[in-house]
Structure formats: structure tokens, C-alpha cells
A and B are shown apart, each in its own frame.
Chain A
């Protein structure tokens, strides 16, 4: 069994840590010394659980996908994070972090967002708690995720465009970090994934772990056994995967499948398949696998999916893949688009483009007819209708 808990400095094996300038030290240290104690405080847990239940709508169903199961020849269950309030798993983490920010006395919340799901989830909890909210988003993503930009504004958040670099998630993250440096006292930075300096990867994984916590008892109820044979989840930074794996990390009966975005193809030069294209290095304060040049310059990734368009992965995933505990599969833009359509027509569920990558991985996996496969249906596809419409136009008329 591999050791899947962080050490005292926030390392999973050799991945993780906190590679941050001194200007961030006080803020990060404040979180580090407080987060475990606060998370374990019964009053915190009670408020967190109640909000997840009555506000988010948890537990999210574990749905047996009959037609998909017949098509693929396996027993396929969908963990319906798309049914959460705001339409994705992201809100599990923002609820947790807003409660933490409140207890730390913070008045101002900042966040980065790629697909806009984390931005919407952050804007939502800020409205809920009456806190000022600023969301950094790459200019390119603002364009391709327009509905989510409108939702954030509707919720009272200010959306600030990141105009540097590739103008996507990486650059939005850089801008958010700068904002935090400039506002060292009253501001909490809600990072949306299991990335960033310690304690973020562990903290976000704990908030998302509700996904696998529910999966366990839901499988027990349905099948009389509390574990699947495989869990499939898409990985950008990797927060839905971290949550879907969390309570099975040390259960070697369960295969963990991490699905990355291959973009136009892993070797096309336009890809975000970090575990295949990446090498060890430091990104956004964490030692992990990332796409970079020989000189350590971070490479601009590409994926049609704004939520997977990130040149690194969370240190937990680097550790799991490096240690062969998780298997990485990569899926191209076209495969993901085709999977979106297929799932929509098989099950009546339009998945987010990010999630569609996880579905497309079924074509590359090996399994038997009795195998139980849980797919983390991390988000719904409403935000991606523009991309789907363009794809539908190219579809031959039947």
C-alpha cells in the first residue's frame, strides 16, 4: 500500500510543498496552521454538511447508466456532480473555503477560473455570505465561456480579464496570486483545484472527498459492496478526480483512471496531456509534473476544454501516476466532442466538455462485463453549448 497522505511540509512523496515568495508566506502560513483544526471543528463540520445538503443538494445521486452499460459491456455508474447547485463539483470546495475564510476574518475573496465553473461556484458562495468577490479569468476563456461570465456578474462578482501569456487558466492563476500579494491581510484566495502551495492541494482534496464518501455508501446500498473496480475522472488540476478517488486511494482493488486532455493530439504541440508531456518542476508554488521547456519555461497548453487547459497537475496526481497507482489516459478534442454527443443521446445527459473526456476514456480502457465502473460526472454541459453547436453543424445529417 502506498502512503497517500501528505507529510508535515505538504509533500506526497517528492511532489507538493510550498514554493512561494515571502510576500505570500504570511497568508499561506495562516491557512496552513489553521485549516486542519478548523475542518475538524464540529461547528464547522455541521455548517459545511448542512450547506452541502440544503444548499448544494447533496448527496448527489449515483446513477446506474443502463444504456451506456449495455453499449460498453460493463456496469457503469455515474456520480452526478452535474446535479449540484451551480452545475459542477466545484461548489463542494468553495463552500468549504468560504467557511474557512469567514472564520479567518477575511472580507474579500479572489479566485481564478478556467471554464468558469469555479468562478461561478466562488461568486455563488460570496453572494451567500455577503463577501466581495473578484474572479480572474483569461481573456480567451472569457470569450469561450460567455454564459459563465454572465452568471458571475449576475451574482455580483467582478470578472477581471487576464491578458498575459496564453490568456487562459495559467495566466488567470498568476493574476490571482499577484492580487493576493498586493492584498495580504483582508483577502482569501479560493483556489479551485488541488494545485498551488501546501495546504491547498490537501485542503481542496478534503473538501472534494465528499464525492467518494458518498460513492462508498451508495455502492454499498446498490451492490452490497462499497467499492467499484474502477473510477474514471478527468484531470486538469485534478479536483474532481481527487475527490472521487479520495476514500479509495489506499484500496488497491480500485483502479484509478485519470483522463487528461490531449487537445489536437498528444504529440501535436497543441495538447494539455501533462503526465505524458510533463517533467518534474514547480508551477504555482507546487512541485509536480508540468509542461515546460528544457530551460524551465512553462509551456502554453491547449485543449478545447477550458477546465483542462492547464500545464500542470496537482501534486497528488503526479504522485499517483508516478507511483503507478493511477493510470493516465489522454483524450483528444474530437473524441471528447463525440463522447458528449453520444452520452447526451444515450442517457439524456449533456456533460461538460471536461467530463466528456472521462466518458471518451471508456473506449480506451479494458474491463470485463461484471466490472463496476464509476465515472465522475463532474459538470453539466450548458456552458459548452457554443462548442457543441459548432460540432453539430459539422455532423453529417442522418
Chain B
């Protein structure tokens, strides 16, 4: 069974999905970050494939991507690192990147390499829905990879239904119309948007991302859907921590999860 399917069948709330950029802060940080995220209680990990021109990401992720590329990160190295990480943990792994990376690697070769490295899902924000349906969906399904799509406050209900119907993966609910790393407060307008999505009564698991940066915003997001995605805040916590990546990772996860246990 796909590890994502298993996670969502076993856990329907308070799911913590942490994003980090592969190869950041150091090239060999990928495996320890994954292991310590899993050990500290993250439920799901989104591994960013660093890209030179990350259109949907903010400055924090762009900077970490540039560092990772300068560190020597490539898809070949990444797949080796993920295979290594997979020997130590069974946590679901989702790869996030841009479609040009997949295109240059070769879509079929890419999904096969990802699956072989123990990846469970993909997020490719700039892959158009029609191209997904026409070319990519069958490849991903054959490799048992679940593809997640983004939904924003501007996405009309009809399009949300179409996206939900075409995607086996969780829905990535973009909390506001802002790029990653933005503000940390959830507004009334966002709450109204979450209510609108909830009212559509879609079967897909839903995680909120963008602007989730601390325990408080994480808890609020969890009131609405199955869980939330934290990215830029974790990248900031890893900055300059190459010598104590494990500790910094565990400290960060605790700062998100422990207040909710108190």
C-alpha cells in the first residue's frame, strides 16, 4: 500500500507535513533531516528538488535552493540520498519541484527513479492539468505515485472539483494568495475560504500550506483540515546549522508539536 494512503487511512487530523530543500544547508543534510523529522514526530515529508527559477516559491526557498545547487545537488544525487533515507524510515515522502526538471530527466524515467528511491507522491505546481491528464497521470499511477495539486482562494469551486477528481493525492490548500514564507496570521477571509472548501465535501485528504510557520498557525490549520505543511519556517531554522542538522530539526518539530500536548 502506498505510504500516503496508509497515513491518511490511519490518521485524519493533526498531520504535520514538513518541507525542506534537498541538499540544504549542506549537500549531505538530506538523509539526516529526513531521519530526524521522522524521529521527532513529523507525519509526512515534502522534499524540495532545488530549482534555479522556483516560480511558486518565496525568497527563503529560492535562497535555500541556490545554496543546495551550489552544494552540488542534482536529481541523480537526490535519488541516491532518498534511497539511503528509505533504509532508515518508513515515513511517506513527497517530491516537490518544477516540471522542467521532470521533463529534462524524462517523465517516465523520472517516475521510475522516484518510485525506486521510495518516493510516494509528487507535487509539480506548474504541470498543467491537461498535460497531467494526457501524458503524466498514467505514468505516475503505474509507478504508484500520488500527485497532489494546489488550490488557492481564487480557484473556482468547479475547478476545485475537477482537480480533486483527477488527483489521487492529498489536496494542497494554499492558505492565501501569497508565495511561501509569508505572514503568519490566519485571517477571517482565509477562514471563509477554508469553510468554502470544507463545504464542497471532497473525499481527498486536505493539507493547508503557505504561511504556516509556528505552533499557533499549525493548530489553527488543523481545526479545518487533516493537517498542515510547514516549509519556509523550517528552512530558516536550518540556516547555518550544517554542523547540528539533527538537533535543529528535532528542536523545530518539537516547537510545533509540543505546545499542542501541553
Contacting A at CB under 8 A, from B59-105, are 59, 62-63, 66, 69, 74-75, 98-105
Q: Does A3 lie at the interface of the complex (its beta carbon under 8 Å from any beta carbon of B)?
A: no
**How many of B's residues come within 8 Å of A, CB to CB?**
41
Do A174 and B103 have beta carbons less than 8 Å apart? no
Interface 0/1 of B154-170, CB less than 8 Å to A:
11100100000000000
Q: Does B255 lie at the interface of the complex (its beta carbon under 8 Å from any beta carbon of A)?
A: no
Stretch binding the partner chain, chosen from B8-16, B31-39, B49-57 = B49-57
**How many of A's residues come within 8 Å of B, CB to CB?**
36
Q: How close is B60's CB to chain A, nearest CB, in angstroms?
A: 12
Interface 0/1 of A282-320, CB less than 8 Å to B:
111100000010111110000000000000000000000
Q: Does B197 lie at the interface of the complex (its beta carbon under 8 Å from any beta carbon of A)?
A: no
Do A295 and B104 have beta carbons less than 8 Å apart? yes
Known: A22-B152, A23-B150. A178 touches B52 (CB 8 A): no
Q: Kindly list chain A residues whose C-beta atoms are within 8 Å of the C-beta of B143.
A: none
In the bound assembly, the distance between CA atoms of A279 and B185 in angstroms comes to 43
In the bound assembly, the distance between CA atoms of A178 and B54 in angstroms comes to 10
Do B177 and A184 have beta carbons less than 8 Å apart? yes
Q: Does B113 lie at the interface of the complex (its beta carbon under 8 Å from any beta carbon of A)?
A: no
Q: Does B127 lie at the interface of the complex (its beta carbon under 8 Å from any beta carbon of A)?
A: yes
In the bound assembly, the distance between CA atoms of A185 and B130 in angstroms comes to 25
Q: Kindly list chain B residues whose C-beta atoms are within 8 Å of the C-beta of A385.
A: none
Q: How close is B156's CB to chain A, nearest CB, in angstroms?
A: 8
Known: A181-B177, A184-B177, A296-B101. A20 touches B126 (CB 8 A): yes
Our pick among B53, B66, B104, B152 for the contact of A25 (Cβ within 8 Å) is B152
In the bound assembly, the distance between CA atoms of A295 and B213 in angstroms comes to 31
Contacting A at CB under 8 A, from B150-192, are 150-156, 159, 174, 177-179, 182
Known: A283-B53, A296-B104. A181 touches B126 (CB 8 A): no
In the bound assembly, the distance between CA atoms of A279 and B100 in angstroms comes to 11
Q: Does A338 lie at the interface of the complex (its beta carbon under 8 Å from any beta carbon of B)?
A: no
Do B100 and A23 have beta carbons less than 8 Å apart? no
Interface 0/1 of B118-133, CB less than 8 Å to A:
0000000111101100
Q: Kindly list chain B residues whose C-beta atoms are within 8 Å of the C-beta of A281.
A: 100, 103-104
Q: How close is A326's CB to chain B, nearest CB, in angstroms?
A: 24
Q: Does B24 lie at the interface of the complex (its beta carbon under 8 Å from any beta carbon of A)?
A: no
Q: How close is B24's CB to chain A, nearest CB, in angstroms?
A: 15
Our pick among B52, B74, B151, B159 for the contact of A298 (Cβ within 8 Å) is B52
Do A282 and B100 have beta carbons less than 8 Å apart? yes
Do B154 and A25 have beta carbons less than 8 Å apart? yes
Q: Does B58 lie at the interface of the complex (its beta carbon under 8 Å from any beta carbon of A)?
A: yes
Contacting B at CB under 8 A, from A1-57, are 9, 17-27
Do A174 and B130 have beta carbons less than 8 Å apart? no
Q: List 7 A-B contacts (CB under 8 A).
A: A17-B131, A21-B55, A25-B154, A25-B155, A177-B55, A183-B177, A282-B100
Query: Which B residues are within 8 Å of any A CB, using their own CB?
Result: 51-53, 55-56, 58-59, 62-63, 66, 69, 74-75, 98-105, 125-128, 130-131, 149-156, 159, 174, 177-179, 182
